[in-house]
Chains A and B, each alone.
Chain A
Amino acid sequence: MITESCTESRTSNKKSLALSVEKLSVDFHLRTHILHAVRDVSFSLYRGQTLALVGESGSGKSVTTRSIMRLLDSQARQTSGRITLHSENSDVVLTDLDPKSEAIRKIRGRRIALIFQEPMSSLSPVHTIGSQIAEAIRLHHGGTKKTAMESTTKLLEQVEIKNPAEMARRYTYEFSGGMRQRAMIAMALACNPDVLIADEPTTALDVTTQAEIMDLLKRLQESRGMALLLITHDLGLVAEVADEVAVMRFGRLVEGGAVDDIFHAPKTAYAQSLLASTMRLERPAEARASRQLDDDSPMLSVSGLGKSFGIVNWRGKELHSTKAVEGASFDLYPGENLGIVGESGSGKTTLGRMILRIIEPTAGQVMYRDAQGQMADVTRMNRKALTRFHRDVRLIFQDPFASLNPRMTIKQIVGEPLVVNNGMKGAELDARVAELLELVGMERSAMERYPHAFSGGQRQRFSIARALALNPRVIIADEATSALDVSIRAQILDLLIDLQKRLGLSFLFIAHDISVVRYFCDRVLVMHHGRIVEQGDAEMICTAPQDPYTQSLISAVPNPDPRHKRMINRTRFISS
Chain B
Amino acid sequence: MSQINPINTVEDRPAITLLSDDDNTGSLEVASQWRLIWIKFRQNKVALFAGVVVLLFYVVAVFAEFLAPTLPSKSQPRLTYAPPQSIGFFVENEAGERAIQLHVNGYGMTVDPESLRRSFTVDKEVIIPVGFFVKGEPYELWGLIPMERHLIGPLNPKDSMNLLGTDKLGRDVLSRMIYGARVSMSIGLIGVFSSLLIGTVLGALSGYFGGWVDLAVQRLIEVISAMPTIPLWLGFAAAIPLTWSPLQVYFIITLIVSLLAWTGLAREVRGRFLSLRHEDFVTAAKLDGCTTKRVIFRHILPSLTSHILAVVTLAIPTMIVAETALSFLGIGLKAPVVSWGVLLQDAQNIRTISSAPWLLVWPAGAVVVVVLAFNFLGDGLRDAADPYEH
Contacts and interface: CB of A to CB of B under 8 A. Distances in A.
B9 to A, nearest CB: 9
Interface stretch (A207-215, A231-239, A246-254, A362-370): A246-254
Given A32-B25, A34-B16, A404-B281, A420 B1 contact: no
A466 B283 CA distance: 13
Contacts of A403: 280-281, 284
A255 interface: yes
B13 A43 contact: no
A450 B32 contact: yes
Interface in A437-451: 448-450
Contacts of B294: 420
Interface in A384-439: 387, 390-391, 394-395, 397-399, 402-409, 416-417, 420-421
A390 B289 contact: yes
A143 B14 CA distance: 48
25 contacts: A31-B19, A32-B20, A33-B19, A34-B16, A34-B19, A36-B14, A250-B15, A255-B5, A268-B8, A356-B287, A390-B287, A395-B287, A397-B280, A397-B284, A402-B280, A403-B284, A405-B303, A406-B388, A407-B33, A407-B302, A407-B303, A420-B291, A421-B289, A448-B30, A452-B36
B10 interface: yes
A40 interface: yes
B286 interface: yes
A352 B29 CA distance: 34
Interface string B24-65: 110011111100100000010000000000000000000000
B348 to A, nearest CB: 50
B8 A406 contact: no
Given A390-B288, A417-B289, 20 more contacts: A3-B1, A4-B2, A31-B19, A32-B25, A36-B15, A58-B14, A253-B1, A358-B286, A390-B289, A394-B287, A402-B281, A403-B280, A405-B302, A406-B33, A406-B303, A409-B30, A416-B285, A416-B290, A449-B30, A463-B284
Contacts of A35: 14-16
B287 to A, nearest CB: 5
Contacts of B99: none
Interface string B113-126: 00000000000000
B17 interface: yes
Contacts of B32: 407, 450
Contacts of A39: 15
B279 interface: yes
A234 to B, nearest CB: 22
Given A37-B14, A416-B285, A450-B31, A405 B7 contact: no
A391 B287 CA distance: 8
A558 interface: no
Contacts of A268: 5, 7-8
A256 interface: yes
A2 interface: yes
A265 interface: no
B384 to A, nearest CB: 14
Interface string A50-87: 00000000100000000000000000000000000000
B227 interface: no
A237 to B, nearest CB: 22
Contacts of B226: none
B23 A43 contact: no
A268 B187 CA distance: 71
A259 B29 CA distance: 41
A269 interface: yes
Nearest to B33: A407
Interface string B304-346: 0000000000000000000000000000000000000000000
Interface residues of A, number: 56
A126 interface: no
B29 A252 contact: no
Contacts of B168: none
A267 interface: yes
Nearest to B9: A252
A3 B3 CA distance: 9
B95 interface: no
Given A448-B30, A450-B32, A405 B299 contact: yes
Interface of A: 2-4, 31-37, 39-40, 42-43, 58, 246, 249-256, 267-269, 356, 358, 387, 390-391, 394-395, 397-399, 402-409, 416-417, 420-421, 448-450, 452-453, 463, 466
A466 B288 contact: yes
Contacts of A31: 19, 43
A252 to B, nearest CB: 6
B49 to A, nearest CB: 20
B283 to A, nearest CB: 6
Contacts of B20: 32
A269 B16 contact: no
B11 A249 contact: yes
A267 B285 CA distance: 47
Given A390-B289, A391-B289, A416-B288, A42 B24 contact: no
Contacts of A421: 288-289
A36 B17 contact: yes
Interface in B264-302: 279-281, 283-291, 294, 299, 302
A43 B24 CA distance: 37
Given A253-B5, A453-B30, A34 B17 contact: yes
Nearest to B286: A358
A482 to B, nearest CB: 14
A269 B31 CA distance: 37
B242 interface: no
Contacts of B13: 250
A399 B16 contact: no
B289 A449 contact: no
A3 B4 CA distance: 11
A4 B289 CA distance: 63
A365 B33 CA distance: 43
B18 interface: yes
Given A395-B287, A420-B294, A402 B15 contact: no
Contacts of A452: 28-29, 36, 388
Chain A to chain B: the 7 pairs with minimum beta-carbon distance, closest first: A453-B29, A403-B280, A36-B15, A417-B288, A402-B280, A405-B281, A34-B17
A416 B290 CA distance: 8
A403 B303 CA distance: 14
A265 to B, nearest CB: 14
A403 B14 CA distance: 26
Contacts of A254: 5
Given A267-B7, A450-B32, A453-B28, A402 B289 contact: no
B287 A269 contact: no
Contacts of A246: 1
Interface string B241-281: 00000000000000000000000000000000000000111
A58 to B, nearest CB: 6
A453 B33 CA distance: 12
Contacts of B23: 32
A397 B15 CA distance: 31
Given A3-B2, A268-B7, A33 B17 contact: yes
A477 to B, nearest CB: 13
Contact of A387 (B7, B16, B289): B289
Between B11, B16, B291, the greatest number of chain A beta carbons within 10 A of the residue's beta carbon is seen for B16
Contacts of B18: 32-33
Contacts of A448: 30
A463 B287 CA distance: 13
A483 B16 CA distance: 25
Contacts of A43: 1
Contacts of B15: 35-36, 39, 250-251
Contacts of B303: 405-407
Contacts of A420: 288-291, 294
Nearest to A391: B289
Contacts of A404: 281
A4 B2 CA distance: 9
